[in-house]
Chain A
Amino acid sequence: MSDKKLQVEKKYLDIKTKAEEIIPLKEDKTVVMVGTATCGKAAGAIDVREAFKEEIKKRELNAEVVEVGCIGHCYAEPLIVISKPGFPSLCYGNVDEGLSKMLVENYLEGDDPCYEFALVALEPNEEFPTFTDFPRGAYEGKIILEQCGLIDPEDINQYISVDGYHALVNALGMEPGEVIETIKESKLRGRGGAGFPTGKKWEFCANAKDPVKYVICNADEGDPGAFMDRSILESNPHQVIEGLIICGYAVGASDGFIYVRSEYPQAVRRINAALEQAREIGLLGENILDTGFNFDIEVFLGSGAFVCGEETALINSMEGKTGMPRHRPPYPAEVGFRGNPTIINNVKTLSYVPHILLKGVDWFKGIGTPDSPGTAVFALVGKVENTGLVEVPMGTTLRSLVYDVGGGIRNEKEFKAVQIGGPSGGCLPESALDLPIDFDSLQEAGAIMGSGGLVVLDENDCMVEIARFFLDFTQKESCGKCTFCRLGTKHMLDILKEITIGQGKRKHLEILGELALDIQNGSLCGLGKTAPNPVLTTLRYFMDEYEEHIQGRRCPALMCPELINFYIVPKKCSKLCSACVGSCPVEAIYTREDGLKAIDLEKCVKCNSCPAACPPEYDAIIKVSPPERVEELEKENA
């Protein structure tokens, strides 16, 4: 070991020893960890936290309540973990104030862990199953989400106690070139969406002549339905900071930035707190760990424009200009922020860096597929039983993601498609379920890894409407600079709107396909180039639904309001019930002479309230398409 390496190792040991002294030892104190990332808070975690604090105080117990981030089981928020000496750490889901008080009384004070309310145990034990005993746990392989929700994001000592910043020490003991070589060898690919090799990018930047370089963490997560970057920043900000410092060291930068959207106030708060703590113990700032390496990080707040996630638009935004993309090349790694070579890496990409340096290239390459090693993080949402933030090895099939990890389709409906990669991604049908997911396989299928949003769609989702929905988003988020994106997406959206209201014509499909390809090939930036993906994939895999809308003026999924009508089946309706009448906001439902209910279609606004209100034992209200079908049914039932 070189002298330099020994020296930093020693310095780190001091810090680690101190950190471990400060952290309360789990063996002698009960700790209640409340998940208070934004998702937990929205579900009521603050009330839960207060209930625990109050009850513990009232009963004068030796227990501590700490706030942690998110463990990714969104369907069961608010989530808490209780670690009591002598028991395995237990996780409880759907916790409310009542359950909190009960747990304090029965478990914290008494010794009954209330297993009936527990979700899972964190360590193997003889009493209760752990994550790996469930299909989801068996398929998941957490790397960058591993500590999320298990350590206090506002306490650097907790991160250090799980070997945090050890990778930085390893890196500082190496030459910058060696660090880049390690990342290159690991074949880590950028998790922002396109999957560009990270090591190569770093090398470009390191080789650039300019002495002043910048590194930026792109945390401008803007995809609807994606929330992994927020969750990582809120749950384990030090992991990202460590990655960014290593990146700065490798390319020779002394200024780093985290570009985070201002709509993530909790993430911003936690990053700032984390930066402050890192500075205090000398992991950031001048002469880091006495190695002579100077590096500091600033937080830059974006104003929430989707296009600012595009790296050149992000740079413009940071320079105080309008957030609009520039032509590439030159790439930011050569001419970037303030004209200097700049690395822009996604939150997830940087999060892998410490793990690779700590556990080695071979370990990393042992996970995932040969060309896309590592894991993929997905925000699994939509019509799936267990929504959440999941991390699976690359190469996992969509089928095991939806059925094993996600627990299958909700309400025993039939699977129709997954929308993968957000508005820039595509819709993949059932035939793609056995596709092993990685950067390249998704691209071939017409989607992209993108931000990792994964929306599961069932038989009640209309694919034309889904395409319209996502295009509506990109069209609104288009900056308007280049012709194809500004005008092309608007034309496509107008055509899709016409199809969903039954005014589509045959020639529309042709124009839609032509425009989509030209926008893909002709746009200036990634937003425009990928905006047609939802349209292209639905045209490719769900042409029959488009045809039904155009030829038959009907929406097979019974979703497009203009193409459906509601109808109350007299044989199923009951004189004794009028649940639907009250649910209708426009008084369109009336009682017929025979006491059964019927809908005045002139008044009906197709809000979907009445089928929801109709008690399941009758289930009398149906949707029909085309809308004229109601007249036939009326005749049949007259």
Chain B
Amino acid sequence: MNKMISIIIDGKEINAEEGRALLWVALENDIFIPNLCAIKEKARPSASCRLCFVEIEGHPRPVTSCTQTVADGMVVKTRTPEVDRLVTTAFELLLSDHRLGCSKCPKNKACALQRIAKERKLKLKPKRLNKFVKDYPIDDSVDVFVLDRNRCVLCGRCVWADHHIAKVGAIGFSQRGIKRKVSTFGDKLLSDSSCIQCGECVKVCPVGALSFKENHKDKV
């Protein structure tokens, strides 16, 4: 274990192990920082969701807290106008590409997007940006779970779980840019892939893109 150091987040003094990622130190001390793509066990964070911005004294601009390791005496603010602006825009961008209809979503009330909206007082239906129309067919070809890409936020947690927890390699990212999506090799149905239906990917999905079929019963 590294030596313990002390940092200040939002005025609160916190003891933490030197070298750990700021995001996890904050979350473990009940300080909420929005995040979707962060995985504690992953050595090098993907830093792709761009939600965990904070301001650190000495840095000219907000930085992502998942990529920042804590150092003694660090002074962090999780809410400043600059941070809020970036988080709001990132959140609105993600929502502009996310199929809503929470009441019909198996993740309703357990959804990371809903949590962020509540904590940061953000709207789930922002008016500033147009909504992109996504119409991916829902893949319910396997017995245990359903993959609905229209609700996917491309955080990559499922892909990581599939590769590092389940060690199966049934899914990965395909395409690029706006077409980027989670898919099986050759973009086949899950039932035609090497998926073993272990459900590890479903457990880590922060939104309603991957859900167990048993949670669907009271929906639709």
Contacts and interface: CB of A to CB of B under 8 A. Distances in A.
Interface residues of B, number: 34
Contacts of A326: 44
B118 to A, nearest CB: 20
B94 to A, nearest CB: 6
Given A482-B48, A514-B89, A491 B129 contact: yes
B46 A481 contact: yes
Interface in B1-51: 44-51
A23 to B, nearest CB: 48
A601 interface: no
B85 A518 contact: yes
B148 to A, nearest CB: 18
B35 to A, nearest CB: 12
Interface stretch (A9-17, A242-250, A472-480): A472-480
B178 A482 contact: no
B177 interface: yes
Interface string A502-530: 00000000010011001001111000000
A609 interface: no
Given A327-B45, A480-B178, A481-B48, A521 B128 contact: no
Contacts of A478: 176-178
A486 interface: yes
B178 A490 contact: yes
B190 to A, nearest CB: 21
Contacts of A523: 50
Contacts of A479: 176-177, 180
Interface stretch (B59-67, B100-108, B161-169): B59-67
A483 B86 contact: no
A491 B86 contact: no
B78 interface: no
Contacts of A522: 50, 53, 86, 89-90
A367 interface: no
Contacts of B97: 487
A494 interface: yes
B177 A521 contact: no
A490 B132 contact: yes
A483 B179 contact: no
Nearest to B36: A483
A480 B176 contact: yes
Nearest to B174: A322
Contact of B62 (A491, A494, A515, A521): A521
B175 A480 contact: yes
A227 interface: no
A480 B183 CA distance: 14
B43 to A, nearest CB: 11
B44 A484 contact: no
B67 to A, nearest CB: 5
A488 interface: yes
Nearest to B87: A522
Interface string B114-147: 0000000000000011101000000000000000
Contacts of B44: 326-327
Contacts of B129: 491, 511
A490 B97 CA distance: 11
B61 A476 contact: no
A486 B53 CA distance: 18
A480 B154 contact: yes
Contacts of B67: 327, 329
B48 A524 contact: yes
B96 interface: yes
Given A491-B96, A521-B61, A521-B62, A486 B89 contact: no
Nearest to B45: A327
A148 B79 CA distance: 55
A514 B50 CA distance: 16
Contacts of A482: 47-50
Contacts of B154: 480, 486
A51 B12 CA distance: 81
- Between A481, A494, A521, the greatest number of chain B beta carbons within 10 A of the residue's beta carbon is seen for A481
Contacts of A524: 47-48, 50
Nearest to B47: A327
B23 to A, nearest CB: 13
B68 to A, nearest CB: 10
A322 B50 CA distance: 20
B179 A484 contact: no
B93 A511 contact: no
Nearest to A520: B61
A521 B86 contact: yes
B55 to A, nearest CB: 12
Interface string A212-243: 00000000000000000000000000000000
Contacts of A494: 130
B110 to A, nearest CB: 22
Nearest to B49: A483
A327 B49 CA distance: 12
Nearest to A322: B173
Nearest to B172: A322
Contacts of B86: 518, 521-522
Contact of B89 (A329, A476, A518): A518
Contacts of A480: 154, 175-180
The 10 A-B pairs with the shortest beta carbon distances in the complex, nearest first, are: A480-B180, A487-B93, A327-B47, A518-B89, A478-B177, A480-B177, A483-B50, A482-B48, A480-B176, A522-B86
Interface of A: 322, 326-327, 329, 475-484, 486-488, 490-491, 494, 511, 514-515, 518, 521-524
Interface of B: 44-51, 53, 61-62, 64, 67, 82, 85-86, 89-90, 93-94, 96-97, 128-130, 132, 154, 173, 175-180
9 contacts: A327-B67, A478-B176, A482-B47, A482-B49, A483-B93, A484-B90, A487-B96, A521-B62, A524-B48
Given A491-B129, A518-B90, 12 more contacts: A327-B44, A327-B47, A477-B177, A479-B176, A480-B180, A483-B51, A483-B90, A486-B178, A486-B180, A487-B93, A487-B94, A487-B178
